[in-house]
Amino acid sequence: MTLSSQESREVQISERELEQSYFEENLSSNVTETFLFLADRAEHFQKVIKPNQNRLIVSDRGFISGIAYSMARGEKNLDRLIELNRYVMEGILPDLVIFFEISEKELINRLSKKN
């Protein structure tokens, strides 16, 4: 049986709307934001991924997108990001990762529809 997972959606440390506005308006440090995402990832791992390790898990987003996001926001140390993510996921990484490539035009189109 397959489990469909979407990180930062199933496990809520706080209300997502409040969290989103907090990120947008109050965080003065990318380090703080990175650790908030890592805390969310740790909760998701413990409550969703780890109990279902014996199942096929198809996840929309995860640690790779989190690392990419942190680096896009200014983090320069890829090795540190990988190590922190491995720590919160107890060293358990996906067996397979699939990337879907889209054009810049399609990306802009999709992002414009988010809000």
Q: Quote the pTM value.
A: 0.70
Asked if residue 35 has pLDDT above 70, the reply is yes
Residue pair 45/88 in contact by the 8 Å Cβ criterion: yes
Cβ neighbors of 50 (< 8 A, separation 6 or more) are 90, 92
Position 115 scores a pLDDT of 63
CATH of 2-112, one of 3.90.580.10, 3.40.50.720, 3.40.50.300, 3.40.718.10: 3.40.50.300
pLDDT in tens, 93-113: 889 988 889 999 998 998 888
Q: Where are the domains of the chain?
A: 2-112
**Separation between Cα atoms, residue 70 and residue 103, nearest integer Å:** 22
